[in-house]
Amino acid sequence: MAPSTFHPSGSIKWGALSCIAAILFLTASEQVFGALPSTNPFSYKLSNQSDQDVSAATSKEKKLLQNSHTDRTAFHFQPIKNWMNDPNGPLFYKGYYHLFYQYNPYGAVWGNIVWGHAVSTDLIHWIHLPAALVPDQWYDIKGVWSGSATFLSKVNLVLLYTGWSNASRQVQNVAVATNPSDPLLRSWSKLSENPILVATAGINSSNFRDPTTGWTGSDGLWRVLVGSKIDKNETGLALLYKSHDFVKWQLADHSLHSVANTGMWECPDFYPVSMNEKKGLDTSVNGPLVKHVLKVSLDDKKRDYYALGTYDTSADIFIPENKKIDVGIGLRYDYGKYYASKTFYDDNKQRRILWGWINESDSIAADKAKGWSSVQGIPRKVWVDESNPHGIKQWPIEEIEKLRHAKHSKKKFWLKKGSILKLKAKRATQLDIEVSFDLPSHNQQELVLNDEMAQNEAQINCGKVGATKQGTYGPFGLYVLATKDLQERTSVFFYLRHSNKGWRTLVCSDQSRSTLLPNIDKTIYGSFVPVTKGEDFLSLRVIVDHSIIETFAQGGKVCITSRVYPTRVNDDSAHLYLFNHGNQIVHVQMLAVWEMSNVVFDIY
């Protein structure tokens, strides 16, 4: 049964902010924000934020900004300028995809956070709209932080978000779409009842944030989670709240789930997945062929972890499939740079889509100089890995393939020991690459549970191997964003390692030679890849877009995102290579390289 809904017009004291009012507010409030203490409760890069011009970008400026820096991406989502972090409340409504995001209108570092807003009909071409939510109430005056969108009915849409209050407390608030007939959803009103959730006894109001999308149980009540932590054992937890109207909420007597020693859980996400098809499910769906994913963003590690499990609706608890890889200590969405992610159910194409924030790896000074920070990853479709009962797969949404052109492909060839093969690509700064290799047939793979220990081991191993050390099988893979002399290059490769239990496959993204610049995070990322029975190949898909490299190994079982800042690589001089530094010859089943078109974003 559909739960009761409230009617925006009857319950709102604050009139809707028109677009114009929002813009005026943003401009006029610079001094207000300037006066705020620059307290950063997170470990983001932060410094004096008054160094940016706040005037809206003209279209000429837009063009200049888009082309002014080679690190700027060509087809990833970015605001025109300034700082961006978490994706918030993604949704599909009346033909438009909406993306909200944490945004600082005044500079390239974290602070003064509003909800930036953009719309798209295909998740690739975006129109920037004025900010959807800005700090204008005592309960969010220091920042409109992360949250989610929930459809209370087909046309009754609410945003639930964390406000950072005048007293530096984290509280949860609701904003309602006040003009449901507007497909661009430009007008939002905050409820007079806000804050609708405050930290009660036992909850620290500094660790109380990032409400999820709501779902309903069989009792018809709404449920949401709020990320938190209890100091004892540094236990991270997802507080569970219930409500009949989305306004008055009751804290459940237990959390949905908690895991000791994982620290603060930011941006929890909880959603059902089908066990027998790739189709996505709406957030309240449950049943015999349904499992649930619980994802949390670990504040201490700045990494997104997930676990697959069962949602026991009568007890209102999440039971992980395997306690050894419980949320926060097991699988990660991405073994590179990927944080504060959020999914939504796309009713348009019946799929679940994941967005994730990809921060910079360079210095504050560099970010200020370029005038912007961070990108959002290419949205990914997620579904259960049919070959692994504990994991999910992620794959770039199909729409990205519209940008592919100038295909270069090759089939069935050998890569000799020590070979470095230059591949055709006119503009190797913007590529979509797919390559698959034969798996050496006599080698039984040992299946590795990707728990914390395995992850550390994988990263250490990738680090030891780099892309040059010779093994039996591998390293073999790709050099992307490379100079002709290979002085700068990022290597994405496989490496098969022998242990007493058999062979294990590692996938690595080695940034150690990605740039000649100092002061850059050049971690060599890596993970074990579960290669399951019947798989006689190893595959990579690598999306390259100037300063970002997104890797999807083995059909999306493992993902690694890297940010790189090459100094001698531009549209005319970037090179792409296939290499094999292993002792054994490697057979390439298929290689396809597409150059990718630019996307120009519009401003509303």
Which residues of this chain interact with ligand DQQ, rule CB under 6 A?
42, 85-86, 102, 113, 145-146, 162, 209-210, 266-267, 340
Nearest-approach distance from CB 50 to ligand DQQ, in angstroms:
19
The reply to whether omega before 389 is within 30° of 0 (cis) is no
Rounded Cα distance, 39 and 7, in Å: 37
Q: In what order do the strands lie in the sheet with 558-563?
A: 404-415, 586-596, 430-438, 537-545, 548-553, 558-563
Who contacts 452 (Cβ-Cβ below 8 Å, separation ≥6)? 329, 330
Closest CA to 172 of 112, 214, 226, 231: 226
Q: Given the complex with ligand DQQ, which of 226 and 588 has the nearer CB atom? A: 226
Q: Given the complex with ligand DQQ, which of 146 and 429 has the nearer CB atom? A: 146
Residue whose CB is nearest to ligand DQQ in the complex, by number: 145
Q: Given the complex with ligand DQQ, which of 227 and 475 has the nearer CB atom? A: 227
Rounded Cα distance, 30 and 378, in Å: 32
Q: Given the complex with ligand DQQ, which of 264 and 564 has the nearer CB atom? A: 264
Q: What angle do CA 12, 98, 157 make, to 5 degrees?
A: 30
Nearest-approach distance from CB 525 to ligand DQQ, in angstroms:
20
- The region, left, alpha or beta by phi > 0 then psi within -120 to 50, assigned to residue 99 is beta
The reply to whether omega before 379 is within 30° of 0 (cis) is no
Q: Given the complex with ligand DQQ, which of 197 and 593 has the nearer CB atom? A: 197
Nearest-approach distance from CB 357 to ligand DQQ, in angstroms:
7
Nearest-approach distance from CB 41 to ligand DQQ, in angstroms:
8
* Secondary-structure breakdown of the chain: helix, strand, coil percentages, each rounded to the nearest 5: 10, 45, 45
**H or E element in which residue 458 lies:** helix 452-465
Q: Given the complex with ligand DQQ, which of 70 and 206 has the nearer CB atom? A: 206
Calculated CA dihedral for residues 528, 533, 535, 539, nearest 10 degrees: -10
Rounded Cα distance, 337 and 359, in Å: 7
Q: Cα–Cα distances in Å, from 527 out to 393, 431, 489, 509?
A: 15, 23, 20, 9
Sort strands 575-580 and 473-482 into parallel, antiparallel or unpaired: antiparallel
In Å, how far from its chain's centre is CA 9? 35
Nearest-approach distance from CB 133 to ligand DQQ, in angstroms:
12
* Backbone phi and psi for residue 32, each to the nearest 5 degrees, phi listed first: -55, -50
Q: Given the complex with ligand DQQ, which of 296 and 542 has the nearer CB atom? A: 296
Q: What angle do CA 429, 432, 438 make, to 5 degrees?
A: 125
Furthest-apart CA atoms within the chain: distance in Å: 73
Tell the residue number behind the tokens 């290579």, with chain if given. Answer: 577
Q: Given the complex with ligand DQQ, which of 87 and 582 has the nearer CB atom? A: 87
Q: What angle do CA 522, 381, 266 make, to 5 degrees?
A: 60
Nearest-approach distance from CB 234 to ligand DQQ, in angstroms:
16
Q: Annotated catalytic, 86? A: yes
Rounded Cα distance, 4 and 282, in Å: 18
Q: Given the complex with ligand DQQ, which of 359 and 429 has the nearer CB atom? A: 359
Catalytic choice (71, 86, 140, 510)? 86
**Residues with catalytic roles:** 86
